[in-house]
Amino acid sequence: MRMPEPNNGVLSRRTEIVSDLRRILPAECVIAEEEELRAYECDGLTAYRQLPLIVVLPETTEQVSDVLQYCYGEGIKIVPRGAGTSLSGGALPLADGITLGLGKFNRILEVDYKNRCVRAQTGVTNLAITNAVNGEGFYYAPDPSSQIACSIGGNVAENSGGVHCLKYGLTTNNLLGIEMVLMDGEIVRLGGKYLDAGGYDLMGIVTGSEGLLGVITEVTVRILRSPSTARAILIGFPSSQSAGTCVADIIGAGIIPAGMEMMDQPAIHAAEAFVKVGYPLEADALLIVELDGPSVEVDELILRVEAIARKNGAQSIRISESENERNDFWAGRKAAFPAVGRISPDYYCMDGTIPRNRLSEVLDRMSDFSEDFGLRVANVFHAGDGNLHPLILYDANSPGELEKAEQFGAEILKLCVEVGGVLTGEHGVGVEKRDLMGEMFTEVDLNQQQRVKCAFDPTQQLNPGKVFPTLHRCAELGRVHIHSQQTRFPDLPRF
């Protein structure tokens, strides 16, 4: 992976920078020893590693501001890092950059039931927010599968989703306010406990910006009352096509399930071998549909879903009759990644989104790729929202297999875009999909996005090398070019 050329001036001043930082921050907040830096050399995308120049772990927003102001003045790059669970390399360090870890921002600041929101520091885990309010019957809706570890600030940076997106939305739909620090040290508060922005939706653009616009230090999120009932139905199908039609029919019937997950046969087998909860091994595709809400509603919708499944040739149907049984249905799906990890030395997790109705075509083409590359693939699919997670199985110790897996992955993502989908549904672009951005966007599109980056970070010191395949200087992007008009429209009134 090609990263921006390290600045030798910064590298050579390392000792001086360390002592400056130790003046700005308490000494224990600055990490400079190689063995300690090692813990920060990668995030959840472990294929890429780089030792950071220095790691700082500030404790307050003012300290973050002081560090950024210092780095801004000194021309030093910053890589923000939450819990380090990014699957796209969003927190991959830079050799000449300071990794700014937010792990010490771990306090919930306020639980406000009257306004149904929680204000938390950026490093609080996603699950900790739900845990803080579930005693009162509330929860925080977005639930990425890393929720036990991932930080809420990281969720904002990545606009994280989870299995309940279709009904309850992504991070951006559940976020009310943020406090962030700009690269020049300025502290900005956007939103609050109220809805929508009065001016431009700056919080909306920061959400999902992958740490390139500012360092988020505090977050205010909406909490929802937990549904009184949730039940799941486990449906085996003889083909992914019939499972796909079933999904379309459920939605076509006006039902929005809380979650709707699909697994293909390799994933079913791996999961069943791992958790042994009775998944139908003969099925070619397995659908888990969860409905939540008042019990009378859930009971009725379960019957409607069951009828739709039968009409679509379901081979097996099980309806959860208890919380234990519902959790069992999910256990295999939730353990799908580690389960696949047991049947292969390594796996590479992809994250494209496709229009749901192109699923069986995409799966067919994917099995062709699988033969071409000689690598197996298992699929788990957020069927409700079209987000596909193909897991490519490979062996990193076998020469050339990682590269092959990466090429296979790139082909899958190009296919997603080709059928009307996108490169990434929830894992982010980071470094992983950076060089594929041209598959989805034109130069004009990417330049317009980079101009937004320039509005927040004109010197491009925040997390450079991520998201954008080519870095343009902000001054260059600022110029207005009028393209010579070849075609005139005579029927249009002109000035």
For residue 292, the minimal CB distance to another protein (Å) is 10
Nearer to another protein, 40 or 140 (CB): 140
The string of DSSP codes covering 302-353 is HHHHHHHHHHTT-SEEEE--SHHHHHHHHHHHHTHHHHHHHHSSEEEE--EE
Nearer to another protein, 27 or 480 (CB): 480
For residue 254, the minimal CB distance to another protein (Å) is 3
For residue 198, the minimal CB distance to another protein (Å) is 3
Beta bridge mates, 401: none
**Which residue has tokens 């049947």?**
343
Structure tokens at 142: 């977005």
The enclosing H or E element of 489 equals none
Rg (alpha carbons) of the chain, rounded to whole number: 24
For residue 419, the minimal CB distance to another protein (Å) is 10
For residue 213, the minimal CB distance to another protein (Å) is 9
For residue 482, the minimal CB distance to another protein (Å) is 5
Nearer to another protein, 300 or 364 (CB): 300
**Among residues 388, 337, 288, 290, which one has the least CA distance to residue 85?**
337
d(C-alpha 467, C-alpha 50), whole Å: 17
Nearer to another protein, 399 or 490 (CB): 490
For residue 459, the minimal CB distance to another protein (Å) is 13
For residue 323, the minimal CB distance to another protein (Å) is 16
For residue 204, the minimal CB distance to another protein (Å) is 3
Q: Provide the H-helix boundaries in 169-252.
A: 202-206, 240-252
Beta bridge mates, 191: 177
d(C-alpha 332, C-alpha 273), whole Å: 9
For residue 89, the minimal CB distance to another protein (Å) is 14
Nearer to another protein, 23 or 200 (CB): 200
Nearer to another protein, 53 or 67 (CB): 67
Structure tokens at 83: 């819990």
Is residue 52 a contact partner of residue 79, using CB atoms and an 8 Å limit?
A: yes
The enclosing H or E element of 88 equals none
Per-residue buried b or exposed e for 214-226, using 16+ beta carbons within 10 Å of the residue's own CB: bbbbbbbbbbeeb
* CB-CB neighbours of 339 under 10 Å: 23
Q: Give residues with Cβ within 8 angstroms of 288, minimum separation 6.
A: 232, 233, 234, 235, 259, 260, 261, 262, 263, 329, 330, 333
Q: Give residues with Cβ within 8 angstroms of 73, minimum separation 6.
A: none
For residue 295, the minimal CB distance to another protein (Å) is 8
**Among residues 323, 136, 324, 293, which one has the least CA distance to residue 229?**
293
Nearer to another protein, 429 or 462 (CB): 429
Nearer to another protein, 173 or 360 (CB): 173
For residue 449, the minimal CB distance to another protein (Å) is 4
* CB-CB neighbours of 394 under 10 Å: 24
Nearer to another protein, 17 or 221 (CB): 221
Nearer to another protein, 400 or 493 (CB): 493
Nearer to another protein, 49 or 116 (CB): 116
Beta bridge mates, 387: 353, 382
Nearer to another protein, 11 or 256 (CB): 256
Catalogue the long-range contacts made by 195-199 (C-beta closer than 8 Å, 24 or more residues apart). Answer: none
Structure tokens at 417: 């875009």
Q: What are phi and psi of 492, to 5 degrees?
A: -90, 135
